[in-house]
Structures are given as structure tokens and as C-alpha cells.
Amino acid sequence: MENGSRIYHLESGSKKHICPSCGKKRFVRYVEKATNDYLPEQYGRCDREANCGYHLNPYKDGYANPDQDLQEEKKVGIGKSTPVRAFADAFVPFSVLQRTLLANGYERNIFIQNLLNNIPFPFPEKDVEKVVELYYLGTLNKGYMVGALTIPYIDRSGKIRAVQVKTFDQQNHTVKTNFLHSIAEKHYLNQGHEIPKWLADYLKNETKVSCLFGEHLLDKYPVNPVALVEAPKTAIYSALYFGLPDQPGNLLWLAVFNLSSLKLEKCKVLQGRRVVLFPDLSKTGNAFKLWSKKAVEFEKAMSGTKFTVSDLLERNANDQERAKGLDLADFLIKQDWRAFRPKQREVASVLEPMVQPKGENSEKGVALNKPFFQQPRTPDAQPLPKPEPKWQVESLERYFIKAKFPEGPIQLEPASTITDVVKMVESHMAIIKAQREKPRFKPYYNRLMDLKVLLQQSKKANAGRLPKVKRRTQNNVKLKIKST
């Protein structure tokens, strides 16, 4: 075959093939850039780097024309065993991410519900909500992966580089992995619709996951030491166990995506930080060795930045756990999170040697950029909305069954007066129970919540009449409540 000036690269997207070495369906094949045609099936890379490591590059064994392709190879960085990261030119719009942050979606989110109900030691709802808001975790509400967890990769400037989609079983083990752009593309093609411009532009990106998971938090927490793990799931579990970065000494948990995604270009955003790496286990310790080698290289290339590799798993794992390639989350989930909370100082003392060597000054990391929410933004980089909390319908109903209502009308707003409180409660409850979580019916829910607050205040006042109260709703409208 005449190769001419053809260029080859690893196929983008989430599609996997059978690896010719280990037999697992984890193999990414090489394709021709111009036509997107596959090369012979032996050319590709297994993404089980630690346990297999198979990688046959067409530029290494003479398949590509060495005279004509060599210069093109250098331009695109394909000839190296580890292709260089390409910067994204197009991003996932915020409007697309917002569709995954609907409040009612979390009730069907298998991963989130497992954290609340099905794991050995379920987490408090408020803790899970904080992590959801911190990382903008969402739910796929349509398609063949309904109930899947959406995991956005948001860069330091607030742009969405990729949205991973994962389904889990009842033990929170990964069942299926995909990306939102791939799911969207299939949807439009299957429906016979034209692919929108944002998606057409995005599909041209050679590298989709081109930033760290949680990278958008770096400027929000500028002095916290950073903990880097492979998968976002591990970062989520670790944040729930070791604590959120609301204290300067707490670790800020980020993820690189997978073992081979630990790249210098991707880690440059960590300049001036103390960084501790937690690689997954591997049968022969290759994962730990690989990240240890990269930590040395990164530290030389990034002045003022300290990289340390934790050997916590290596020291405590047995051969079976190594063979399975377990990660930090697999060990944490067996523990009761309550045992970690009273011992934050002890946990900090254990992690401190891994974060900073003895004898070194314990200076805080250097904040190199302005806080995240104070940075100038382009129209495509607006602050992300927080997922709305779920409606507490059952709780409201239980409260009003036992509540004592005042006599006479109640003025909630200057233009809104309740003449019959009992009828108002009955009608509003019927509406929100029938139209649960639908945004257009949210005012009915808000009015019931306002009434509940007033009745609680009245009970505390114990004066037989409603007190005068001023407070603000979510829309910043003053509410004036008067007794009659």
C-alpha cells in the first residue's frame, strides 16, 4: 500500500476493541487521519497500561513511509509512544451540561442513590449534596443510559472540555462508560437530524479529556494541597471521606482520567502547589513506578512545585488486590466514614509526610491566578449553576398535618394575601405532589415553605399571633408577614 503523506493517530472517542495481547476489550486502534479508516488490527494501544501495556505504533515498525511521513509525524506528535495532548478548540456548551443538573434526576441517579442508601456506610445527604455541587455531577435523564452519572471535566477558565457518562451497579462498580458527545452524536444520527454546530466542531478535537477533573476548583481553593488520583470516582469518594477543601490544610481531590493521562501539559495548572499522587494498584507495581518516574520529571520541569507519590496502597495491598488493580476508593468504601471525621488531625498527620517531606517549610501553595468566579469570562464561559435541591414534599406534608394554623388572612407579599390558610395548604400540596419537581410549579412549593417558616416562628414566639417577619426568597423579594 502506498502510504504517501498519510497521517495516523489513535482513534478518538470511547470505542474499544479486543486487545491482541491480553484479550480484553480495552484496545484503541490506529486510524488514518484523512479518511478515518482503520489500520491493520494489530496497530493500537491497550489502555490497561499497568497490566498489559501492549502498544504497536505504525511509525515504529516501518508500516508508515518513513521518508514522507516522518515530518508529519513530528508535527502532530504521533510517532511518540505517548502522544502529546492536543488543545481543545471547541467545548461542550453550558446549556448541554445544565440539562444533566435537574433536581429530579438525582432520584434516579444510581451512583448518588448508592452513596445515600446502598453502600455499607451511607453518607449524609448534605455531604453528598456538597460533593455534587462542588464537582457539578449530574444525571443522564434520557437515552439508553438513563440514571447514569455525568462527570464534567471543567478547565480553570470554566470551559467544559468533556462530559463522561458512567453507569454503576448496586455496589457502585462501573458497568458502562461513554461520553456525552458520543451519546448526542448517535442520538442525532438515529433520529435523522442534523448534528448541531457545537457538536460538529467538538468532534474535530483530537483530544477530548484535555484537563483535570475538578480543575475548575484550583482558583477557588488556592492554598490547598492537591491529591491526584486516576478516576473521578476515586476523587469523589476521597473527598467524602477525608473532607472537602473548605479548610486550607484539607486536600483538594482531582483526577487525571486514567493511568496514562498523567501528562506534564495537563499538570501545569498545578504550578506552585504541593501535590500527592495516588496511583491505582497493578499486578507488578508498574502503575506506582510509572507515576513515580513522572513525578520526578514534573518536579524538575515545574519550579516551586512538589510532587510526592503515596505508597499507601503498595504497602497495604495483598497479591489478590494488586491483580485486580484496586484503587483508593475500593479500600475506603469498606471503612465507616464516621471514623474519619473525629480524627481529622490524625488523618492530616498521616497524609502530611506524603504531601511534604520532613524538614521542609510548611508554606502554603502559591495562588498564581485570580479566584475562579472573579475571572473575566467569555459568553461561552459563564459560572455554572448549582443543581437545585430536591423538593421536600413528604416532609412538608407531615409538618402541615400536625401544624396549628392562625385565624384570619395572612399577607405574604404586598400583592398576595391568604384568606383561608387551610384551603391554601390543601390545594398547594395537591399541586406539588402531582407536579413534583417541575419548574413551572415551583412557586406553589416556595409558598408552602414560606408558610412553614412563619408557623415555626410563631410557635417560638408563643404569643398567640404571627410575628412581623422580614426575609428574602430565592428571588430576593422581601416578604412581609403581618398578623391580624
- 276 φ, ψ to 5°? -115, 130
pLDDT tens string 346-372: 444 444 444 333 333 333 332 222 222
Query: What local confidence, expressed as pLDDT, does residue 461 receive?
Result: 59
Please give the C-alpha separations between residue 103 and each of 80, 107, 247, 452, in angstroms, as whole numbers: 45, 8, 28, 22
pLDDT tens string 247-272: 888 899 999 999 989 999 999 999 99
Tell me the β-bridge partners of 309: 277
Q: What average pLDDT does range 5-31 have in this prediction?
A: 81
Q: Please state, for a pLDDT cut of 70, what percent of the chain lies above it.
A: 75
What is the rounded distance in angstroms from the CA atom of residue 286 to the CA atom of residue 53?
10
Q: Residue 427: CB partners within 8 Å, gap ≥ 6?
A: none
Give the start-end residues of each E strand in 106-217: 138-139, 149-154, 160-168, 174-179
Q: Any idea which residue has 496511583 for its cell?
A: 279
Enclosing H/E stretch for 469: strand 469-472
Query: What local confidence, expressed as pLDDT, does residue 210 receive?
Result: 93
Q: How confident is the model at residue 385 (pLDDT cuts 50, 70, 90)?
A: low
Q: What is the residue-wise DSSP string for 427-463?
A: HHHHHHHHSTT-GGGHHHHHHHHHHHHHHHHHHHHTS
Query: What local confidence, expressed as pLDDT, does residue 412 receive?
Result: 62
Q: What is the residue-wise DSSP string for 193-256?
A: PPPPHHHHHHTT-S-S--S-BTGGGTTTSTTS-EEEESSHHHHHHHHHHH--TTSTTS-EEEE-
What is the rounded distance in angstroms from the CA atom of residue 295 to the CA atom of residue 311?
13
Give the count of beta carbons closer than 10 Å to the beta carbon of residue 469: 15
Q: How many Å separate Cα 26 from the centre of its chain? A: 23
Query: What local confidence, expressed as pLDDT, does residue 474 receive?
Result: 34
Please, where in the chain does CATH 3.40.50 lie?
217-365
Query: What local confidence, expressed as pLDDT, does residue 60 receive?
Result: 67
Pick 305 or 448 by higher pLDDT. Answer: 305
Longest dimension (CA), the chain: 93
What is the rounded distance in angstroms from the CA atom of residue 20 to the CA atom of residue 54?
8
**Multiple choice CATH, 217-365, 2.60.40, 1.20.930, 3.90.660, 3.40.50:** 3.40.50
Would you call 387 exposed, middle or buried from its count of C-beta atoms within 10 A (0-12, 13-18, 19+)? buried
Task: Indicate the range of 94-98, 365-369, 462-466 predicted with least confidence.
Answer: 365-369
- 242 φ, ψ to 5°? -90, -10
Q: Please state, for a pLDDT cut of 90, what percent of the chain lies above it.
A: 41
- 72 φ, ψ to 5°? -65, -35
Give the count of beta carbons closer than 10 Å to the beta carbon of residue 138: 26
Average pLDDT, the chain: 78
Q: How confident is the model at residue 181 (pLDDT cuts 50, 70, 90)?
A: very high
Residue 97 cell numbers, joined:
451540561
pLDDT greater than 70 at residue 483: no
- 264 φ, ψ to 5°? -60, -45
pLDDT greater than 70 at residue 148: yes
Q: How confident is the model at residue 407 (pLDDT cuts 50, 70, 90)?
A: confident
Pick 143 or 60 by higher pLDDT. Answer: 143
Tally the C-alpha atoms within 13 A of residue 149's C-alpha that lie toward its C-beta.
Answer: 24
Q: How confident is the model at residue 380 (pLDDT cuts 50, 70, 90)?
A: very low
pLDDT tens string 49-81: 666 667 788 776 566 654 433 343 333 333 333
What is the rounded distance in angstroms from the CA atom of residue 460 to the CA atom of residue 467?
10
Tell me the β-bridge partners of 226: 252, 275
Query: What local confidence, expressed as pLDDT, does residue 88 receive?
Result: 52
Query: What local confidence, expressed as pLDDT, does residue 377 receive?
Result: 36
Q: What average pLDDT does range 230-241 have in this prediction?
A: 96
Contact between residue 50 and residue 292 where contact means Cβ atoms under 8 Å apart:
no
Sign of CA dihedral 479, 480, 483, 484: negative
Task: Indicate the range of 47-61, 115-129, 139-153, 275-289 predicted with least confidence.
Answer: 47-61
Q: Residue 287: CB partners within 8 Å, gap ≥ 6?
A: 49, 50, 259, 279, 280, 281, 325
Residue 352 cell numbers, joined:
502530611
Q: What average pLDDT does range 386-407 have in this prediction?
A: 78
Query: What local confidence, expressed as pLDDT, does residue 383 receive?
Result: 52
Task: Indicate the range of 185-194, 316-325, 475-484 predicted with least confidence.
Answer: 475-484
Give the start-end residues of each E strand in 331-446: 410-413, 416-418
Q: Is the pTM of this model over 0.75?
A: no
Q: How many Å separate Cα 327 from the centre of its chain? A: 17
What is the rounded distance in angstroms from the CA atom of residue 231 to the CA atom of residue 279?
10
What is the rounded distance in angstroms from the CA atom of residue 331 to the CA atom of residue 316?
10
Q: What average pLDDT does range 447-467 have in this prediction?
A: 68
What is the rounded distance in angstroms from the CA atom of residue 461 to the CA atom of residue 41?
77
Pick 397 or 143 by higher pLDDT. Answer: 397
Q: What average pLDDT does range 261-286 have in this prediction?
A: 94
